[in-house]
Homo-oligomer: A and B are copies of this chain.
Amino acid sequence: MAKIPGFFSLKHFLVLSLALNVSLVMRVVFENEKQGPVFGFCLSKLRGSLMADDQASQRTLQATPSSWAKTQNSLAEVKDDLERVVNLDHGDPTMYEHYWENMGERTTIVIRGWQSMSYFSDIKNICWFLEPELAKQVVRLHKVVRNAETEGRHIVVGTGSSQLFLAALFALSPKEATEPISVVSAAPYYSSYPTMTDYQKSALHKWAGDSRIFNQMGPYIELVTSPNNPDGFIRHSCVNRSGGAIIHDLAYYWPQYTPMTFPADNDLSLFTVSKSTGHAGMRIGWALVKDPEVAKKMTKFIELNTIGVSKDSQLRAAKVLEVVADSCVQSGGSEFRESFFEFSYRLMAERWQQLRETVNNSNGIFSLPEFSPAFCQFHGRDLEPQPAFAWLRCRDDIEDCESYLRGFKILTRGGKHFGASTKYVRVSMLDRDENFRVFLKRLSAIR
């Protein structure tokens, strides 16, 4: 045995040894938790890591000097070629690539030359081009996540939720009216709504602006995006009278972005894989529709628009949704099996923490919305929203925040596109890690 120096007693050695043991035991427990070999439903898997997340979230709000210093140190390592344009204008969800790489071959699909050749998928279904396997996985995932009621609903698949939005406008617009129906949404609203409503110059529907100040008589369609794009707040109908139909755009109503307070129970809700799993290139969305007549009209729209929806992408989407649900309910092992929503919640929390720290240290040049926590049925505790977009505000003396940031080669989408002030910009929080860190570094250098 090696000789112990004279200034160490045996007691000292025992205390040191015990401390080492405790630290090692804690590390093993923590690592196990991170790697996810926990049995049972995600709820229990998530609780452990959410304790840490919640502390992180509280740190975010406090923005302690030590965590800010840590962020600064980490940003110091980021290489920033100042010529490079950081494009955070679109909500391209490339952040998720990392998770799917780690999941290896679990979502790999193989399609053979003679498969999926027909136009038809399920001729007995109202939506005759809906692949039954996708329908099955959509229902399963909503049940696991508890974000939407699927009982008594018809599923209509679309080429992304954009096509479903147009299909819903078509289905809900009276066909024989003398005037086009008014389409409204509370500002700030998704920047594409006005153009998508009006680009065909349709006599069926016309954009009528902010629902908060809408006071025309007659029927209307209200678009309720919740959590909202661009600002992340939970939304409800604003038009305080009857005679309206509501399209609920729930693209962001998933556990990584906002607490799952209740399963959505609407007449017509829209979802998309682009923002739920990150597979924007698939162009797959789905609508949950209560009224079969509305589902029929939406199906007719898609038939006239594109004669159905890519079967290849529907089958791939079904596989991805299946693996997401599996990642929540399956027992772990030595392989990478982190729950999809655990991973994405943690990543969003980390990004929001870093962004809030950066904004808090901007000497008031920038500010961000503040959210109240709510109880999340999926995660099983109070949590704060951490939206897919940051609705960033510039100080009063900066008239046009979009132009201001463009001066630093940061591309964002200015407030005017969303029916709001040019002092605001929408910034994607879903880009690849490298881009997001360069963005933070540039933002933190602005004084």
Contacts and interface: CB of A to CB of B under 8 A. Distances in A.
Interface of A: 90, 92-94, 96-98, 100-101, 103-114, 116-121, 158-160, 162-163, 166, 170, 192, 195-196, 199-204, 274, 278-284, 301, 304-313, 316, 320, 323
12 contacts: A93-B117, A94-B118, A103-B113, A109-B111, A111-B111, A116-B279, A116-B282, A160-B308, A162-B304, A196-B304, A281-B308, A312-B312
A163 B93 CA distance: 25
Given A200-B170, A200-B204, A160 B114 contact: no
A274 to B, nearest CB: 8
Contact of A105 (B100, B112, B274): B112
A153 to B, nearest CB: 23
Q: Give me the 10 closest cross-chain CB pairs, A-B, nearest first.
A: A107-B113, A100-B113, A100-B114, A310-B310, A281-B311, A201-B203, A159-B306, A116-B281, A310-B313, A312-B312
Contact of A312 (B92, B166, B316): B316
Contacts of A278: 117
A310 B307 contact: no
A158 B306 CA distance: 9
Nearest to A121: B281
A300 to B, nearest CB: 8
Nearest to A319: B113
Interface centre among A101, A105, A201, A316 (most CB of B within 10 A): A201
Contacts of A118: 92, 94, 280-281
A201 B181 CA distance: 13
Contacts of A93: 117
A119 B281 contact: yes
Contact of A201 (B204, B311, B312): B204
Given A100-B114, A117-B281, A162 B306 contact: yes
A117 B279 contact: yes
Contacts of A160: 306-308
